[in-house]
Amino acid sequence: METKRLGTTEQDIAVAAELLRQGEVVGFPTETVYGLGANAWDAAAVDKIFAAKGRPADNPLIVHIAHKSDVEKLARTVPLGAKLCMDRFWPGPLTLVLPCVDSVPRNVTAGLDTVGIRMPDHVTALQLIDAAGAPLAAPSANRSGRPSPTLADHVLEDLNGRIAGIVDGGAAGVGVESTVLDFSGEVPMILRPGGVTREMLVELLGEVLVDPVLQSGVGTPKSPGVKYTHYAPKGEMWLVEGPRDQAEIAERVAKARQAGYRVGVLTTAERAELFTADVVIACGRRDDLSTVASGLYDAIRQFDHAGADLIYSEVFPETGVGLAVMNRLRKAASHRVIYA
């Protein structure tokens, strides 16, 4: 199958929408990362998402909608807290997990009785959903386990020939996937941190829990990006934290290079000149963690392109979007941490 690379013109959107109506899968931009969409009501089309990505069947998908009113077609009930979130954060990088109606295909929900729903804050995404005439089930448009794509080139790097089309809408903005907030229990719970921070949600809702599965990775996932290894570079990645992190990274880089390894360091603009390695990538600025979030996945892919065997990364405060950054880094490093 040849993957059609499309733009964002009205004609290109129409071509992509027709592919979706024909039961094909299409990559498309959102404000977080690129998604891989299929008609959410078409179980056979949704199966093609799993096949293209090599995605485990017990990993649920998020359904993307173009209008807030579409929630009523997917969810049995919408609690007051969810409605408040829709009013405050939609369109935007927040997914709400709600009890689903029976007509939502089981492969979308991974057999759960809940469904994740969000309204993306991206004009092209909304136009495509509208033109397709159906909500789109859409995980990130990458091979399962690989870093999520923030550029159309990333999508083609992983999925060229495996999907029908890709709508190239330029670089994604937020850079990490949406926050996933579960309303199926008594207290709202963050299943995956993202661009809408815990602090923002607490300000609106009061009590908000954080799912312990984020740390352990053990349990049945109600959200993508929880149970399996995700976001990983090809080289072995280690997180380095503690007051001696800079010295520890420098020592380990020197030893690894002497042993013949090609070594990378993931750092920030403020500290990039402090390290000597085969590949040093400044991923945003430490004084603005939103820049780290937006550049993280591209940085990880750059290490792959540079052939890094080992990668040492600094860590970040887990406040604001830093919680999402550290969640993704832990997954990328398979929870390997060096305490300096």
304 close to 157: Cβ distance less than 8 angstroms: no
328 is in an annotated binding site: no
66 close to 75: Cβ distance less than 8 angstroms: no
107 is in an annotated binding site: no
25 close to 139: Cβ distance less than 8 angstroms: no
Comparing C-alpha atoms, which of 331, 325, 275, 278 is closest to residue 303?
Answer: 278
Backbone angles phi, psi at 231, to 5 degrees: 65, 15
- β-partners of residue 338 are 240
Residue 272 has which token pair? 């990039």
Comparing C-alpha atoms, which of 272, 298, 300, 270 is closest to residue 286?
Answer: 270
142 is in an annotated binding site: no
**Burial (CB count within 10 angstroms: exposed 0-12, middle 13-18, buried 19+), residue 21:** middle
Residue 48 has which token pair? 């093609």
118 is in an annotated binding site: yes
122 is in an annotated binding site: no
309 close to 261: Cβ distance less than 8 angstroms: yes
Q: Tell me how long the chain is.
A: 340
178 is in an annotated binding site: yes
Q: Is the peptide bond prior to 149 cis by the omega test (within 30 degrees of 0)?
A: no
47 close to 61: Cβ distance less than 8 angstroms: no
- β-partners of residue 236 are 310
Identity of residue 143 = R
290 is in an annotated binding site: no
138 is in an annotated binding site: yes
72 vs 100: CA distance, rounded Å: 9
245 close to 313: Cβ distance less than 8 angstroms: no
140 is in an annotated binding site: yes
Question: Annotated binding site for ATP: which residue ranges?
Answer: 55, 59, 114, 118, 140, 148, 192, 231
Question: Annotated binding site: which residue ranges?
Answer: 32, 55, 59, 64, 114, 118, 138, 140, 148, 178, 192, 231
Question: Annotated binding site for L-threonine: which residue ranges?
Answer: 32, 64, 138, 178
